[in-house]
Chain A
Amino acid sequence: MITKRIIPCLDVRDGRVVKGVNFQGLRDVSSPVELAGAYSDAGADELVFYDITASAEGRRLFTDILTQAASRVFIPLTVGGGINTLDDFDRVLKCGADKVSVNSGAIRDPSLIGRAARRYGDQCVVISADVKRVNGVFTVFARGGRDNTGLEAVEWIRRCVGEGAGEVVLNSMDTDGVRGGFDLEMLRAVSEAVSVPVIASGGAGKIEDFVTLFKTLPRVDAGLAASVLHFGEVTVTDIKKALRDEGINVRL
């Protein structure tokens, strides 16, 4: 049976991984290429590279890094950040990405999803949504969580899947960075509404959070994590062993 996936997420700015990183056994913990290799060796099922650069120079550095990582790491790679056009898809796919995650770019132009899915296949297009409760309504935010779009999240994600998005990354802004566990209520609403894989993001702070996620919501397919892994407090293997001990199928 298919395994639940654990996916480290690397935020990259000006060629370096940002957010605190404290990975044992690495010479340069903020080198995205080294960190990607270490996560792959530690059993990560996929990797997400998120480009949070604003400058053209930083963007060029990002694609260089992606190329190097993709030459050394043989697990699926998803790239997000600054994806607004089909040319952006083309740019990162040529550098070795397998999937491309769209967020603000799809909000600005929802036809981007359908056009990308027709050219590269549904499996290549990931809709990533930053969602926060506003007056009790799950609401989609754009531009890294700065702009309230007024879009209701479940409706928006359902529409994106209808357009051809093959996977959903749901990032709860309400639990993100708090490290008090995933947003189970929000994840339940979205995972019950769509038939494509849903990846939980935002809130992982300890191993038990992953166990709770998959036990409570068997329809969620994967857990994304950044700081909990980068700080080196827990490893991908620790998480997977805990999941296996609870009878959840993982790749170990």
Chain B
Amino acid sequence: MVGIIDYGVGNLFSLRSSFACVGEACVVSGDPAVIRGADRLILPGVGAFADAAKKLRESGLFEVVLEEARAGKPLMGICLGMQLLFDRSFEYGEHRGLGLIPGQVVPIAEHIEPGLKIPHIGWNALTFVNPSGIYRGVAEGAHVYFVHSYHAAGCREYTTAVTEYGGTLTASVQRDNVIGCQFHPEKSGGVGLQILKNFANM
């Protein structure tokens, strides 16, 4: 059973539908008991880092996610949910994240050519860096769907894929059982479904 963590941030309809499509049971919940009972966890998120981190704390799920991940349960953060896995973010100030993966979240503007549109929005290609089980059956150069203005930096050791946008952006990370995808697998067609299926089989 995949537990999709509902802490009041983002639209969970497509994630739930995606797991249904690949034949994986899932539950969307903000109840700590339900989240602890799931075999693996998805941490979604859109919007601003500080607001999401605050909501995760207020919902009582911040500690739950930390404990479950430290106990070895597979956890996948998506988009802002990925950014929350890091030590800190510099989006409108400096904010603390879960600290499950060393590194920080910085504006993509620091790493791309000037004049490019921000957010980085649309389909872009994956270049694999370090191996990850989530890419089983996914070809190098496959396109996935991104929407973001910040990305993770200082996490080279844990980076599993990058994408080029007038500079190199972190597309995904993995540290043991903790995974982050900057892109939206639930919006990335067949490639995205394969990634979610791989996660469900980890």
The smallest C-beta distance from B36 to any residue of chain A, in angstroms, reads 27
Identify the closest chain B residue to A97 (Cβ).
Answer: B11
- Annotate B102-124 by CB proximity to A: 1 below 8 A, 0 otherwise: 00000000000000011111111
Identify the closest chain B residue to A252 (Cβ).
Answer: B143
- Annotate B6-22 by CB proximity to A: 1 below 8 A, 0 otherwise: 00000101100110110
| A45 and B123 contact, CB distance less than 8 A | yes
B147 near A: Cβ within 8 Å?
yes
- Annotate B137-172 by CB proximity to A: 1 below 8 A, 0 otherwise: 000000101110000000000000000111000000
Q: Quick one: given A2-B165, A93-B11, A251-B143, are A72 and B21 in contact (CB under 8 Å)? A: yes
A142 near B: Cβ within 8 Å?
no
Q: Quick one: given A75-B187, A166-B119, A167-B121, are A121 and B47 in contact (CB under 8 Å)? A: yes
| A75 and B122 contact, CB distance less than 8 A | no
A76 near B: Cβ within 8 Å?
yes
B72 near A: Cβ within 8 Å?
no
- Interface segment, B23-31, B60-68, B188-196? B188-196
A3 near B: Cβ within 8 Å?
yes
Neighbour of B17 across the interface among A3, A71, A94, A124, CB < 8 A: A71
Residues of chain B within 8 A of A11, CB atoms compared: none
Q: Quick one: given A1-B164, A94-B13, A123-B46, are A74 and B186 in contact (CB under 8 Å)? A: yes
Q: Quick one: given A74-B193, A93-B11, A121-B46, are A2 and B187 in contact (CB under 8 Å)? A: no
Q: Main SS of the interface on chain B?
A: mixed
Residues of chain A within 8 A of B47, CB atoms compared: 120-121
Q: Main SS of the interface on chain A?
A: loop
Residues of chain B within 8 A of A1, CB atoms compared: 124-125, 164-166
A228 to B147, CA, bound (A): 28
| B117 and A195 contact, CB distance less than 8 A | yes
Which chain A residues in 81-130 approach chain B with CB under 8 Å?
93-96, 98, 120-124
- Annotate B68-94 by CB proximity to A: 1 below 8 A, 0 otherwise: 000000000000000000000000000
| A96 and B192 contact, CB distance less than 8 A | no
Neighbour of A197 across the interface among B121, B187, B190, CB < 8 A: B121
- Annotate A1-17 by CB proximity to B: 1 below 8 A, 0 otherwise: 11101000000000000
A167 to B120, CA, bound (A): 12
A171 near B: Cβ within 8 Å?
no
Q: How large is the interface on B (under 10, 10 to 19, 20 to 34, 35 or more residues)?
A: 20 to 34
Residues of chain B within 8 A of A195, CB atoms compared: 117-118
Residues of chain B within 8 A of A72, CB atoms compared: 17, 21
- Annotate A38-72 by CB proximity to B: 1 below 8 A, 0 otherwise: 00100001000000000000000000000000111
A221 near B: Cβ within 8 Å?
yes
Residues of chain A within 8 A of B124, CB atoms compared: 1-3
| A123 and B147 contact, CB distance less than 8 A | yes
| A98 and B122 contact, CB distance less than 8 A | no
Identify the closest chain A residue to B121 (Cβ).
Answer: A197
| B122 and A2 contact, CB distance less than 8 A | yes
Residues of chain B within 8 A of A93, CB atoms compared: 11, 13
Residues of chain B within 8 A of A2, CB atoms compared: 120-124, 146, 165
A71 to B46, CA, bound (A): 20
10 contacts between A and B (CB under 8 A): A71-B17, A72-B17, A74-B21, A74-B189, A98-B11, A121-B47, A196-B117, A197-B121, A221-B122, A251-B143
Chain B interfacial positions (CB closer than 8 Å to A): 11, 13-14, 17-18, 20-21, 46-47, 117-125, 143, 145-147, 164-166, 186-190, 192-193
